[in-house]
Structure 1
Amino acid sequence: MLHVGSDRHFSLSISQELSIKGGPETSVAAVQDTHLLSADFKRAGDDLRLIGVDGKIHVVPGYFKSENLHALRSSDGATLSGEIVAVLAGPAALGRYAAKDAPSPAMQVIGHAVRVEGQVTVLRNGVVVALNNGDVLLKGDVVQTDSAGAAGLVFNDGSAFQIGHGSRLVLSEFKFDLQGSANLEVFDLIQGSLSFASGKIAKSGDMRIGTPIGSAKITGSAGAGEISPDDGSVTLSIFQQNDGLHRATAYDKNGNAIATISSEGGKLELKPTGPTQIAASEQAKTDADRAGELDALNHLLQIKNLTDHNSSTTPAGGGPHGSSSPPGSYSAGSNEPSFEPNGASGANPPANTGLDVAPHPPGGGNGGAGPGGASIPGSPVNDAPVIGAAQTTGAVQEDTALDPHGLLHANGTIAFTDVDLADAHVVSVGFVSSTRAGGLALGTMSAHLTTDTVNGLGGQAAWQYLVDNADVQFLRAGQTIAETYAVAVSDGHGGLASRNVTITITGEEDASVLPVHRRPPRKPVTPPHSTSR
């Protein structure tokens, strides 16, 4: 081990292993003496710096020199791919990765945050920003919660996630086309815990939850995953519901199926026993585990209800007309979970966290949901705001219409309505993309509510874009850069509507500056000395 100073050191060895897909061999960097999963990842030129929770800095020299970034493996067998390491470390400069073949994350809106508690941030293209209710989520984001933070997230296919305390989740891949069959959702849990409910991708494509030692393929279910902070072992479970058997398949890092998880079975524990070895064991669920599943299901149901308003619930005693869904269940697709927790008791109704989730009716009945089923009779349905006329473009030009502070401005408004008459609305903005080299924004956009709805009508939000004129002087005459921002209107109950606003910045010809030639100062003329007689 090489020591650098009294508190900085690194230890590194290189081995050859199979890649995650079992293809040609690729290098793996084995990092010692640090807890890989809880470290903070930073670039320092071509070097990778891992900053431990103890403040020690572990250096992997020359890590970013390689065109194909090495995976990192800890002494306990946890492995992070080069792609994930690059996302965690951020770009080398101006949003670009050092490795030639590693693309920067696509600026693609894939979901929203609907319930944020405590401190929650997003690492986006190397920049840490606070995550608030209603904020957009982009492909490639890393959602991070502190020891008291939690986040409820929903995605475009209807899947929902609850991220637990002290967690990191990488939104690695997301492709969704309602009419397509090649849909893909891959989220990697690096640290902490999560619970999830699958959406349409699990039905029509491939949904996977990755971990540092393996992954789980989800085929229409709700469940949970947790990474032990002690030894990196992973616990996976599928929740029990009253609508049939649900399964998921666990894979190792080489893509080999190693176990099947069932809603009727126990919890699956995956424990690394060597560089590439995993021991899989099943543990029976305790009463505390089942109570935890019920609580997690209720939280997921509430997260779903914050954004889903397609009549997913019905009055007690009957499902939707022509539907095979059990009463009180959610079913957006034949392979999706029903959110009907099994084992609920009339004496212990689900905890109410402020949303309209009804307990069992008096007398111990369950509203026709079946023995032990938790029902949600007559739950109100939240309707999202609807955007009407909207100014979705703006333009500024270098050296033109500056304010007294040297700033360029663009402004616009977005009109909206909301059939839920009592809703009070909040407006937020999220940066989406820029055509500038590196993808970073030159300016900033803000937005605020100018008029709220009255009897559901007349709502209006205003946005303003600002950029410092000094920051656009590098543009040539006629050269343009387009920056896109998502302006979202939230009703405070999970209903959300957004529009992308694109600002075009155009360069202007800078006047030539001619050098000023000054004559050298003339020397004073000294008169000739005269001699007096």
Structure 2
Amino acid sequence: PAASAQPAAPEPIGNVATLTGTATVTRNSTATPLQIRDDIFANDEVATSGTSSLGITFNDGTTFNLRANARITIDNYVYEDGGQQNSALFNVTKGTAAFVAAAVAKTGDMKISTPTATLGIRGTTGLVEVPEGATATSRNVGIKLYPDADGHVGRIEVNDRSGASLGVLTRGASGFAIRPGTGGARFAAVPLTISPQQITRDQGFVRQVHSAQTLGRQVVTEQRDFRRANPDFRRANPAAPYPNRGQPVQPNPQRQNGLPGQNRNTPQQPGQQNRPGQMQQPGQPNRPGQQPGTPGRQGSQ
């Protein structure tokens, strides 16, 4: 009889982009240390230890940056380039997580859940702060909205866990604390007064998540290209890491627009000779790091 077909291996939905200190992923009840470029799959639970931080970029460009002692679970992630039924649900159970939304939020339904509220993310940057031991009846969860890297401010719709609306954030540097309600209401979204010192601290987190997104897009593209060029690699080497695992990511301007949802209208930075994919014209100055008289090869590292 013909051999039965082997089930297809699950496809990664993202990759580790940045890592300081130690972080782990729990998959199929087994905890494993993470390294840069490692694959992330649906239903993974990722966590950071003390004094650590972790940046994860997903296939659509959505990026999370977890601070120390943070934990999130990817409860759902469906993304198809150009599709209109994309969706994602990220469950922040502990700690501070900065995020920047991308294609899923713009073309589908992206949500972030916490112990007391569920957030509808409509293409924006934000912070979620879940204190240690937060439950549906204790400890306040903080939610903040900040501008994207290009200055655009999106929208965060805040609902309780049953779906009832608690409020909407549409202004940069604004936020809610989710607290037990009064007068029969189970929860209430109380506007936060964010001090200048807190804004400065938060902006540092936001810059880090934007930087992680830039590197993460490159990692996701490189790992995707490797899988396509080597379709039998994972089947033949189920436990083998991909090349360059754990190595820092060097920014490559030629990959900056490699994923959907990225702003392709960003002005060219001073000193850039060529846009990604543009051929060097005869007589044009050499790019930085190129030896005089050596022809420039497009895409070289």
Task: Report if TM-score (shorter chain) is over 0.5.
Answer: yes
2:92 corresponding residue in structure 1: 189
Whether 1:307 and 2:216 are equivalent positions in the alignment is yes
Relative distance call for 1:389 and 1:265 in structure 2 (3 A) is closer
Q: 2:158 aligns with which of 240, 250, 258?
A: 250
Q: 2:146 aligns with which of 222, 232, 239?
A: 239
Query: Relative to structure 2, which stretch is displaced further, 215-224 or 112-121?
Result: 112-121
Relative distance call for 1:391 and 1:262 in structure 2 (3 A) is closer
Q: Structure 1 counterpart of 2:249, which letter? A: H
RMSD between aligned alpha carbons?
3.0
Q: 1:126 aligns with which of 13, 22, 29?
A: 29
| Alpha-carbon distance in 1 for matches of 2:26, 2:171 | 34
| Alpha-carbon distance in 2 for matches of 1:393, 1:188 | 32
Checking the alignment, whether the CA contact within 8 Å between 1:144 and 1:169 is kept in structure 2 is yes
Asked which structure has the greater CA Rg, the reply is 1
Checking the alignment, whether the CA contact within 8 Å between 1:209 and 1:215 is kept in structure 2 is yes
Q: Structure 1 counterpart of 2:147, which letter? A: Q
Q: 2:44 aligns with which of 128, 138, 141?
A: 141
Q: 1:294 aligns with which of 166, 179, 203?
A: 203
Checking the alignment, whether the CA contact within 8 Å between 1:142 and 1:169 is kept in structure 2 is yes
Q: Structure 2 counterpart of 1:286, which letter? A: S
Checking the alignment, whether the CA contact within 8 Å between 1:307 and 1:494 is kept in structure 2 is no
Task: Note the alpha carbon deviations across 1:360-408, whole angstroms, 9 max, x for none.
Answer: xxxxxxxxxxxxxxxxxxxxxxx9586496471699xxxxxxxxxxxxx
Checking the alignment, whether the CA contact within 8 Å between 1:237 and 1:263 is kept in structure 2 is no
Checking the alignment, whether the CA contact within 8 Å between 2:144 and 2:174 is kept in structure 1 is yes
Q: TM-score, normalised by structure 2?
A: 0.69
| Alpha-carbon distance in 2 for matches of 1:153, 1:191 | 16
Whether 1:392 and 2:237 are equivalent positions in the alignment is no
Identity of aligned residues (%): 21
More helix by share: 2
More strand by share: 1
Higher relative contact order (CA 8 A, sep 6+): 2
3-state SS of the aligned residue for 2:249? coil
Relative distance call for 1:178 and 1:280 in structure 2 (3 A) is same
Superposed, which structure 2 residues align to 1:413-432 within 5 Å? none
Relative distance call for 1:494 and 1:170 in structure 2 (3 A) is farther
Checking the alignment, whether the CA contact within 8 Å between 2:57 and 2:217 is kept in structure 1 is no
2:283 corresponding residue in structure 1: none
| Alpha-carbon distance in 2 for matches of 1:206, 1:394 | 31
3-state SS of the aligned residue for 2:51? coil
Relative distance call for 1:446 and 1:211 in structure 2 (3 A) is same
Checking the alignment, whether the CA contact within 8 Å between 2:124 and 2:147 is kept in structure 1 is no
Checking the alignment, whether the CA contact within 8 Å between 2:63 and 2:212 is kept in structure 1 is yes
Checking the alignment, whether the CA contact within 8 Å between 1:197 and 1:221 is kept in structure 2 is yes
1:377 corresponding residue in structure 2: none
Deviation for aligned residue 1:489: 4.3
Structure 1, unaligned runs of 5 or more: 1-105, 310-382, 396-409, 412-430, 432-444, 448-486, 498-533
Q: TM-score, normalised by structure 1?
A: 0.40
Task: Note the alpha carbon deviations across 1:425-484, whole angstroms, 9 max, x for none.
Answer: xxxxxx6xxxxxxxxxxxxx335xxxxxxxxxxxxxxxxxxxxxxxxxxxxxxxxxxxxx
| Alpha-carbon distance in 1 for matches of 2:210, 2:97 | 14
| Alpha-carbon distance in 2 for matches of 1:308, 1:298 | 16
3-state SS of the aligned residue for 2:211? helix
Deviation for aligned residue 1:212: 1.0
Task: Note the alpha carbon deviations across 1:92-145, whole angstroms, 9 max, x for none.
Answer: xxxxxxxxxxxxxx9441100111222211110111111111110010000011
Q: How many residues align?
A: 234
1:152 corresponding residue in structure 2: 55
Relative distance call for 1:178 and 1:232 in structure 2 (3 A) is same
